């Protein structure tokens, strides 16, 4: 039978989502397993392989799987290793030959992996908003800020396999916020879901401007979004500020690789109504005239629950 299907797997700190995907990007079977209880890599890979075999059987896909693509934090495309993934308990921060381990458990079906943002870029290029584009930059706005850079139709991996850490480029040079990476002022300390909540909390602390956010014990980005929806002036300014910071950095990114578009994805990208205008304004004010009003800002059209699986599956078509 023709090998007309692939498997996409999105591995995160809490769960691993897997799906059997056809060439049109339909997920014909899917499953989710927890990654929290596994304490060793072997037990996690075994549990994952078992889950995959179940959805392969379910979708009558035996013998039809061309390859398996995995989006995983700290995944190195070149080596198939997961390196220093401190957020994956079973990986224990070490270096694991994850692709090789999974391939062995899956009877030799080839496995390719990369980090989640690169997988998202592949997904947009294969099935989503970047279809037909050869040069674009994918920015994922979630807990942090991830990025996948596509040049000439190919994801940029760089010398060591880890290119595209745009969330850690410098947004604020002096007195910037402390980032988990150890630096200060990184883009993701401002322009992620976490960053939005942090901005709101900082600003509430710094003035006594009235805001509906003051009544909350804990402020998350969703609260800021809801407040902005209701016209809360402080919440609206938080998004304007966030959009400006993003737009300023996007201008630098454009000057690097002259992309056709910047594609936004992730939880925070759902605040499009508040982010799009300030991003475009700052991006066009800060880029050289050559690219002013020429680079598109595109919001992902993939369903969020499917996008991670689709992105990872797109890797497998190249195998």
Judged by the rule CB under 8 A, the positions of this chain that interact with a copy of itself are 134-135, 149, 151-152, 154, 156-166, 168-170, 172-173, 181-183, 248, 251-253, 255-260, 286, 288-291, 294
Between residues 24 and 173, which has the closer beta carbon with respect to a copy of itself?
A: 173
Q: Which residue has the tokens 């998350």?
A: 220
As a whole number of angstroms, the distance between CA 293 and CA 16 comes to 40
Tell me whether residue 20 or residue 263 sits nearer to a copy of itself (CB atom). Answer: 263
Give the shortest CB-127-to-a copy of itself separation in angstroms.
21
76 vs 221, beta carbon nearer a copy of itself = 76
Residue 221 CB, nearest approach to a copy of itself (Å):
23
Q: Are 242 and 228 in contact (CB under 8 A)?
A: no
The span from the CA of 109 to the CA of 86, in Å, is: 28
DSSP string of 174-211? SSPPB-TTS-BSBTHHHHSHHHHHHHHHHHHHH-----
CB 114 → a copy of itself: shortest distance, Å? 13
Q: In angstroms, give the least distance from the CB of 75 to a copy of itself.
A: 13
Cα 194 to Cα 64, 208, 264: the distances in Å are 41, 22, 17
Which among 55, 28, 46, 17 is positioned nearest to 106, based on CA atoms?
46
Closest distance between a copy of itself and the C-beta of residue 289, in Å? 6
Look at residues 134, 190, 143, 144 and name the one whose alpha carbon lies nearest to residue 165. Answer: 144
Q: Which is nearer to a copy of itself, 46 or 95 (CB)?
A: 95
Smallest distance, a copy of itself to C-beta of residue 167, A = 8
Nearer to a copy of itself, 28 or 133 (CB): 133
Within its chain, how far is the Cα of 161 from the centroid? Answer: 16
Q: Which residues pair with 231 in a beta bridge?
A: none
Nearer to a copy of itself, 188 or 306 (CB): 188
């Amino acid at each position: 039978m023709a090998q007309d299907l692939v498997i996409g797997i999105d591995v995160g700190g809490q769960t691993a989502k897997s799906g059997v995907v056809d060439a049109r990007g339909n997920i014909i079977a899917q499953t989710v397993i927890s990654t929290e209880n596994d304490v060793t890599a072997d037990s996690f890979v075994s549990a994952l392989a078992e889950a995959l075999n179940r959805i392969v059987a379910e979708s009558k896909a035996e013998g039809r799987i061309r390859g398996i693509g995995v989006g995983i934090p700290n995944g190195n495309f070149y080596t198939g290793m997961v390196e220093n993934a401190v957020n994956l308990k079973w990986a224990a921060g070490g270096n694991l030959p994850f692709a090789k381990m999974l391939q062995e458990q899956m009877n030799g079906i080839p496995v390719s992996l990369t980090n989640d943002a690169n997988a998202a870029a592949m997904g947009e290029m294969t099935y989503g908003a970047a279809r037909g584009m050869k040069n674009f930059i994918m920015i994922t706005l979630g807990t942090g800020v991830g990025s996948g850079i596509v040049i000439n139709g190919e994801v940029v991996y760089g010398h060591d396999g880890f290119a595209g850490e745009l969330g850690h480029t410098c947004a604020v040079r002096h007195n910037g916020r402390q980032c988990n990476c150890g630096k200060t002022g990184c883009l993701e300390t401002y322009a992620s879901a976490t960053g939005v909540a942090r901005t709101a909390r900082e600003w509430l602390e710094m003035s006594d401007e009235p805001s509906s956010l003051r009544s909350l014990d804990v402020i998350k980005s969703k609260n800021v979004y809801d407040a902005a929806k209701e016209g809360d002036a402080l919440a609206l300014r938080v998004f304007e500020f966030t959009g400006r910071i993003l737009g300023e950095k996007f201008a630098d990114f454009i000057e690097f690789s002259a992309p056709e578009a910047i594609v936004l994805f992730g939880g925070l990208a759902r605040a499009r109504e508040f982010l799009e205008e300030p991003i475009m304004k700052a991006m066009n004010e800060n880029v050289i005239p050559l690219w002013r009003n020429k680079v598109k800002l595109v919001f992902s059209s993939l369903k969020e629950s499917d996008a991670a699986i689709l992105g990872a599956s797109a890797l497998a078509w190249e195998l």
